């Protein structure tokens, strides 16, 4: 599955930070979708640049019980309106493609005729 | 991580933000792996291996950082589409048979797999053989001299000493590599090979992809409604929207289904730009076979005009069980619907 589609899909439900996106995508696909960090973070950077997602930083305490303890920051991502639109387009394209493949495999599309044409010209 | 930061370009603030985010990811990943039973050392090694090669990841960030420029090129192309109905008609008229043909620029011509070599079969029985010995055995059995690009495997943590277990009778070279990939259990790992002048070159699919990049210009004028008799009643504005939608759909389908992870927008290496009625795609040869097929599906949108469904004269891909999409048109062409 395309990584961008996976990210759009998991972020359509809730705001998440990078590692949580990886885990959500894996959980949602029963472990089939593995978004490695080397792909995920450049992808998120690109999607943010395109305005598909928005981000905010949140401080994470090193020690939850210690008010003064400062820890890392975490970057949370959420879907923008543009991202939501992109997701809808991708889902539509995905479904159309599969419908086309189904029709093709059942032999009911115009593809057979097209392919015959290809054979005639190629022969 | 320090090495990675050195490779990164752009403002220092952005570099530090990327580093902070990746470090945070690695920390959490290590913690999860340790909860899963790994020692801290092994967990750290696994997490870093999952991140991949520093230079490669930095390059992906750089692509993400500079991508608006590429998008601008594509948008300019779309504007060209909207304003260029007349020009497109002209292209269509001057290229009657070549609407979905492709002119190909090949920086390097890869050799096809050798049929005689592919037909040769041999037994493999490795329990704890080193990878270098396994490759030597495969090369010897196929009467080829193996040349291995070990550097290509470094990102997977694979070396000549990596242990291999495999047991099979009468396998072809292709089956040998399929078994090797199935048994490797390394995420994203894909051993691949080429046969060239009695030499068996062994590396990764990505390695050969980079070597076999082709810049192909696809004529997609047949995809656009200006050529559709049933849509001639459209206003210029409607036509512009329809042009944009169709082009976006085409690009969307290609980046969604043709080796999705390899496209720049998805963190990969390869890209495309639409300029007027031309779509330029820079990608490995294996991609182009599928892209041709996808474009053909767009041309066949229920319109009865024979002109827009002119078939490609290029050879269609051969069906393989591992690649049903690629094989679909060829299989149908050969033995599908009878006349």
The domain spanning residue B203 has which CATH number?
A: 3.55.50.30
Which residues, other chains included, contact B209 with Cβ-Cβ below 8 Å and sequence gap of 6+?
Answer: B262, B269, B284, B286
CB A40 within 8 A of CB A3: yes
- 8 Å CB contact of A115 and B333: yes
Largest CA distance in chain A: 78
B282 DSSP assignment: E
Closest CA in chain A for residue B16: A73
pLDDT tens for residues B161-202?
Answer: 888 888 888 888 888 888 888 777 665 668 899 888 788 899
Which domains does chain A possess? 3-62+70-122 (1.10.10.10)
Is the model more confident about B278 or about B318?
B278
CB B156 within 8 A of CB B49: yes
* Residues B266 and B192 reside in one and the same domain: no
Is the model more confident about A48 or about B92?
A48
Token digits for A5?
């589609």
Helix (H, G, I), strand (E, B) or coil at B105: strand
Residue B136 in any domain: the answer is yes
| Residue of A18, A46, A118 with shortest CB distance to B21 | A18
Q: What is the pLDDT along chain A (123 residues), one digit of tens a residue?
A: 678 999 999 999 999 999 999 999 999 988 888 888 988 999 999 999 899 999 999 887 766 666 666 677 899 999 999 999 999 998 998 888 888 888 888 875 444 444 444 443 333
Closest CA in chain A for residue B309: A114
Q: In angstroms, rounded to a whole number, what is the distance separating the alpha carbons of residues A85 and A87?
A: 5
User: Which of B154, B181, B208 is the endpoint of a domain?
Assistant: B208
The answer to whether residue B262 scores a pLDDT higher than 60 is yes
B216 DSSP assignment: E
Q: In angstroms, rounded to a whole number, what is the distance separating the alpha carbons of residues A92 and A86?
A: 10
Residues of A within 8 A of B307 (CB-CB) are none
Helix (H, G, I), strand (E, B) or coil at B315: coil
Closest among B202, B162, B206, B210 to B185, alpha carbons compared: B162
Question: How many domains does chain B divide into?
Answer: 3
Residue B42 in any domain: the answer is yes
pLDDT tens for residues A38-48?
Answer: 889 999 999 99
Q: Give the pLDDT score at B95.
A: 39
Residue B8 in any domain: the answer is yes
The helix (run of H) or strand (run of E) holding residue B271 is strand B271-275
For residue B232, the Cα-to-chain-centroid distance in whole angstroms is: 36
* Residues B128 and B218 reside in one and the same domain: no
Is the model more confident about B165 or about B332?
B165
* Residues B194 and B293 reside in one and the same domain: no
* A19 touching B (Cβ < 8 Å): yes
Give mean pLDDT, residues B90-117.
45
Residues comprising chain A, all counted: 123
Q: How far is B114 from chain A (nearest CA, A)?
A: 23
Residue B239 in any domain: the answer is yes
Which residues, other chains included, contact B216 with Cβ-Cβ below 8 Å and sequence gap of 6+?
Answer: B102, B103, B104, B105, B280, B281, B282, B283, B288, B291
* A68 touching B (Cβ < 8 Å): no
- 8 Å CB contact of A75 and B21: yes
Q: Give the pLDDT score at A62.
A: 64
Residue B251 in any domain: the answer is yes
* Residues B48 and B195 reside in one and the same domain: no
Q: Give the pLDDT score at A18.
A: 95
- 8 Å CB contact of B265 and A46: yes
Q: Give the pLDDT score at A88.
A: 93
Q: In angstroms, rounded to a whole number, what is the distance separating the alpha carbons of residues B81 and B100?
A: 17
Residues of B within 8 A of A37 (CB-CB) are 22, 25-26, 29, 50-52, 57
Closest CA in chain A for residue B297: A111
| Residue of A40, A110, A119 with shortest CB distance to B300 | A110
| Residue of B253, B267, B296 with shortest CB distance to A97 | B253
Q: Give the pLDDT score at A94.
A: 86
Residue B83 in any domain: the answer is yes
Q: In angstroms, rounded to a whole number, what is the distance separating the alpha carbons of residues A70 and A60?
A: 7
Please, which residues 221-240 of chain B have a Cβ atom closer than 8 Å to chain A? none
- 8 Å CB contact of A50 and B21: no
Residue B311 in any domain: the answer is yes
Token digits for A85?
């639109």
Give mean pLDDT, residues B13-19.
86
* Residues B82 and B15 reside in one and the same domain: no
- 8 Å CB contact of B315 and A122: yes
Selected residue of B7, B206, B311 to mutate for chain A interface (largest A Cβ count, 10 A): B311
The number of CA neighbours under 13 Å toward the Cβ of B68 is 7
Count of beta carbons in the 10 Å neighbourhood of residue B104:
12
- 8 Å CB contact of B52 and A36: yes
User: Which of B163, B180, B208 is the endpoint of a domain?
Assistant: B208
* Residues B238 and B93 reside in one and the same domain: yes
- For chain A, report the end-to-end CA distance as a whole number of angstroms: 36
* Residues B121 and B135 reside in one and the same domain: yes
Q: In angstroms, rounded to a whole number, what is the distance separating the alpha carbons of residues A110 and A61?
A: 60
Q: How far is A32 from chain B (nearest CA, A)?
A: 11
Q: In angstroms, rounded to a whole number, what is the distance separating the alpha carbons of residues B146 and B144?
A: 6
ipTM rounded to 2 decimals:
0.76
* Residues B166 and B47 reside in one and the same domain: no
Q: Give the pLDDT score at B304.
A: 39
Please, which residues 101-120 of chain A have a Cβ atom closer than 8 Å to chain B? 101, 104-105, 107, 109-120
Q: In angstroms, rounded to a whole number, what is the distance separating the alpha carbons of residues B7 and B22?
A: 14
Q: How far is A73 from chain B (nearest CA, A)?
A: 7
Torsion of CA B221, B209, A115, B299, to 10 degrees: -20
pLDDT confidence band for B246 (50 / 70 / 90): confident
- 8 Å CB contact of B60 and A42: yes
* Residues B223 and B95 reside in one and the same domain: yes
* Residues B217 and B100 reside in one and the same domain: yes
* Residues B132 and B199 reside in one and the same domain: yes
Residue B339 in any domain: the answer is no
Residues of B within 8 A of A109 (CB-CB) are 300
- Dihedral class, residue B277 (left if φ above 0, else alpha if ψ from -120 to 50, else beta): alpha
Range of the domain at B202: 115-208
The answer to whether residue B134 scores a pLDDT higher than 70 is yes
pLDDT tens for residues B282-293?
Answer: 999 888 888 888
Residues of B within 8 A of A2 (CB-CB) are 255-256, 260-261, 266
User: Which of B177, B208, B239 is the endpoint of a domain?
Assistant: B208
The answer to whether residue B78 scores a pLDDT higher than 70 is no
Q: Give the pLDDT score at B299.
A: 72
The answer to whether residue B257 scores a pLDDT higher than 80 is yes
* Residues B223 and B87 reside in one and the same domain: yes
Is the model more confident about B28 or about B156?
B28
Give mean pLDDT, residues B315-338.
35
Q: In angstroms, rounded to a whole number, what is the distance separating the alpha carbons of residues A14 and A8?
A: 10
| Residue of B24, B52, B309 with shortest CB distance to A74 | B24
Token digits for B3?
């090495």
Q: Give the pLDDT score at A66.
A: 63
* A9 touching B (Cβ < 8 Å): no
The helix (run of H) or strand (run of E) holding residue B128 is strand B122-130
């Amino acid at each position: 599955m395309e990584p961008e589609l996976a990210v759009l899909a998991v972020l359509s439900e809730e705001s998440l930070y990078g590692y949580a996106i990886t885990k959500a995508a894996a959980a949602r696909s029963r472990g089939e979708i593995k978004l490695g960090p080397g792909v995920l973070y450049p992808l998120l950077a690109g999607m943010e640049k395109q305005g598909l997602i928005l981000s905010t930083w949140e401080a994470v305490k090193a020690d939850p019980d210690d008010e003064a303890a400062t820890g890392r920051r975490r970057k949370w991502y959420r879907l923008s309106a543009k991202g939501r639109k992109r997701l809808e387009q991708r889902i539509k394209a995905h479904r159309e493609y599969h419908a086309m493949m189904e029709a093709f495999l059942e032999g009911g599309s115009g593809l057979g005729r097209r392919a015959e044409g290809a054979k005639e010209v190629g022969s | 991580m320090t090495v990675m930061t050195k490779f990164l370009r752009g403002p220092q603030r952005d570099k530090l933000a990327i580093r902070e985010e990746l470090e945070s990811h690695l920390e959490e990943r290590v913690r999860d792996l340790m909860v899963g039973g790994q020692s801290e050392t092994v967990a750290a090694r696994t997490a870093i291996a999952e991140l991949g090669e520093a230079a490669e990841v930095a390059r992906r960030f750089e692509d993400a950082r500079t991508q608006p420029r590429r998008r601008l090129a594509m948008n300019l192309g779309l504007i060209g589409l909207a304003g260029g109905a007349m020009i497109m008609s002209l292209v269509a008229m001057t290229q009657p048979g070549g609407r979905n043909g492709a002119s190909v620029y090949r920086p390097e011509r890869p050799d096809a797999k050798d049929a005689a070599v592919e037909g040769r079969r041999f037994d493999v029985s490795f329990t704890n053989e080193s990878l270098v010995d396994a490759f030597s055995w495969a090369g010897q059995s196929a009467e080829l001299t193996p040349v291995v690009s070990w550097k290509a495997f470094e990102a997977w943590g694979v070396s000549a000493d990596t242990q291999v277990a495999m047991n099979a009778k009468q396998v072809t070279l292709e089956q040998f590599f399929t078994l090797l990939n199935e048994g490797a259990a390394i995420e994203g790992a894909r051993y691949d090979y080429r046969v060239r002048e009695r030499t068996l070159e062994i590396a990764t699919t990505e390695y050969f992809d980079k070597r076999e990049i082709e810049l192909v210009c696809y004529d997609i004028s047949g995809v656009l409604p200006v050529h559709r008799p049933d849509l001639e009643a459209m206003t210029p504005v409607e036509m512009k929207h329809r042009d944009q939608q169709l082009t976006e759909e085409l690009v969307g389908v290609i980046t969604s289904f043709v080796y999705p992870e390899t496209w720049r927008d998805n963190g990969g290496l390869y890209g495309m730009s639409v300029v007027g009625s031309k779509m330029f795609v820079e990608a490995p040869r294996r991609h182009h076979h599928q892209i041709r097929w996808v474009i053909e599906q767009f041309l066949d949108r229920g319109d009865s005009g024979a002109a827009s469904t002119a078939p490609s004269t290029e050879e269609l891909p051969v069906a393989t069980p591992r690649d049903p999409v690629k094989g679909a048109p060829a299989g149908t062409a050969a033995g599908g619907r009878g006349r």
